[in-house]
Chain A
Amino acid sequence: MGTDRIKNNRRKFFKTSAALIGGTIAYSLIKPLEVISQVEDKPKTTDNKELPLWGMAVDIESCVGCGKCAEACKIENNVPEEPFYFRTWVEQYTVKNDGEVKIESPNGGIGGLKQSVPDEDIFKSFMVPKLCNHCSEAPCVQACPVGATYISPDGVVLVDDSYCIGCSYCINACPYGARFMNPITEVADKCTFCYHRISEGLVPACVEVCPTDARIFGNLRDKKSDLVKFLQKNPTQVLKPHLNTHSRVFYNGLSSEVR
């Protein structure tokens, strides 16, 4: 009597477990249910080794802060002329003798940066061009609720103008302040490495006009490219490395003051 009850219970237990396991497997196999389960573990699209992987190096030691890059970017990409819309801009960092750091970027550096601190108070001063860092683990892409911003197969963070709903979550998510709301299109706007140019074999407009070659653009997979040579020659850093964004814009001569 007692053994029978145990046997029956055991049988029931096995039946239930088998049904549960079988159900789980079936659930994961049925295709339409994928949308509910949200189980997706595809390889990254940038893993295709045949495509280029675009990146940029910025040489702070050569930048003279003329602002030609910021100006060229605005012309090339129809960015509004008002001084608070920039895809790329140049900042001047001035470390004073008392240790205070002054950061200024009037009109994004367009028209040339001018030093506002008297020379005798300056400990050191340098210019830092800024742009979208084209992160491999981009916070803006994660924040977008509709999939309107993404990392293209060749490693450029792009915006889908026609699909963006203009919620500006990505603008808040970007730790580099590289995004802005375009007042004309009313969608998020950002540096695309001049995607229309690089896919035709040209360099981005900012790289084209730089009079001191402070910006080096190229394919990170091409070991003979100027960019890879520059990265091998100089000790470079990325901005905000503690955020693990794995950005593809590398700075040479970056001081700890730069934020």
Chain B
Amino acid sequence: MPKIIFRLFLSFVLFVSIFVLIQRFLTPDSFGKYGHYRAYSIDDNKARVSYYKGEEKCASCHEDIFDLKDSDLHSEVKCESCHAPKIDANTDCEVMPPIVEGTIDFCGTCHAINLGRLKKGAPQLNFKEHKEGQNCIECHNAHAPWELTE
């Protein structure tokens, strides 16, 4: 074999082995276990904290309110639809109870008149005509709005 070809071949082998070596050190752990990504990243994504706890958790303490809400039209509305948790899921909900003031703006997110939601079951109100902009929970029970308080 001519010397120059041998040198070329040697440098090629050297280049490839250095490349493979460097690649081995730079590739993070578990990369390529399932595919072209870090398999540990799946665990990272699982490890985050969840804020929304689900209805069962709310009902375990507030069973009376849950049953009242669940008894009629608002049964599909979950507790946390209105009471969004502003607290960490690991802290106790008694420390900072999420309070909602049943105002027109709040109830209006579903019940303000909008042609796009007219046929979908939720009653649509023109709040100016309906009791002239009075606060909703002055008349309606907040957890059972089909019941009037007075």
Contacts and interface: CB of A to CB of B under 8 A. Distances in A.
A114 B114 contact: yes
A232 interface: no
A126 B34 CA distance: 41
B80 A209 contact: yes
Nearest to A160: B41
Nearest to A213: B76
Interface string B85-100: 1100000000000000
Chain B, interface size category, equals: 35 or more
Contacts of A111: 105, 109
A152 B105 CA distance: 41
Interface string B54-89: 100000000000000000001011101100111000
B145 interface: no
Contacts of A196: 45-50
Given A66-B110, A72-B52, A202-B54, A42 B35 contact: yes
Given A64-B122, A200-B50, A211-B110, A158 B117 contact: no
A62 B120 CA distance: 6
B102 to A, nearest CB: 14
Interface string A69-105: 0011001110000000000000011100000000000
Given A72-B52, A160-B44, A64 B38 contact: no
Interface in B93-138: 105, 108-110, 112-117, 120-122
Interface string B19-38: 11001000010010011111
A209 B51 contact: no
B42 interface: yes
B8 interface: no
Given A92-B116, A152-B42, A163-B38, A211 B81 contact: yes
A147 B110 contact: no
A147 B36 contact: yes
Contact of B110 (A64, A76, A115, A161): A64
Given A65-B116, A72-B80, A163 B121 contact: no
A72 B78 CA distance: 12
A125 B44 contact: no
A192 B120 CA distance: 29
A28 interface: no
Nearest to B83: A209
Interface of A: 32-33, 35-36, 42, 45, 61-68, 71-72, 75-77, 92-94, 111-115, 119, 122, 125-127, 147-153, 158, 160-163, 192, 194-197, 199-200, 202-203, 205, 208-213
21 contacts: A62-B120, A64-B110, A65-B116, A65-B117, A66-B109, A72-B84, A75-B84, A75-B86, A112-B112, A113-B116, A119-B115, A158-B42, A160-B38, A160-B44, A163-B41, A194-B50, A197-B52, A208-B54, A209-B80, A211-B77, A212-B122
Interface of B: 16, 19-20, 23, 28, 31, 34-38, 41-42, 44-52, 54, 74, 76-78, 80-81, 84-86, 105, 108-110, 112-117, 120-122
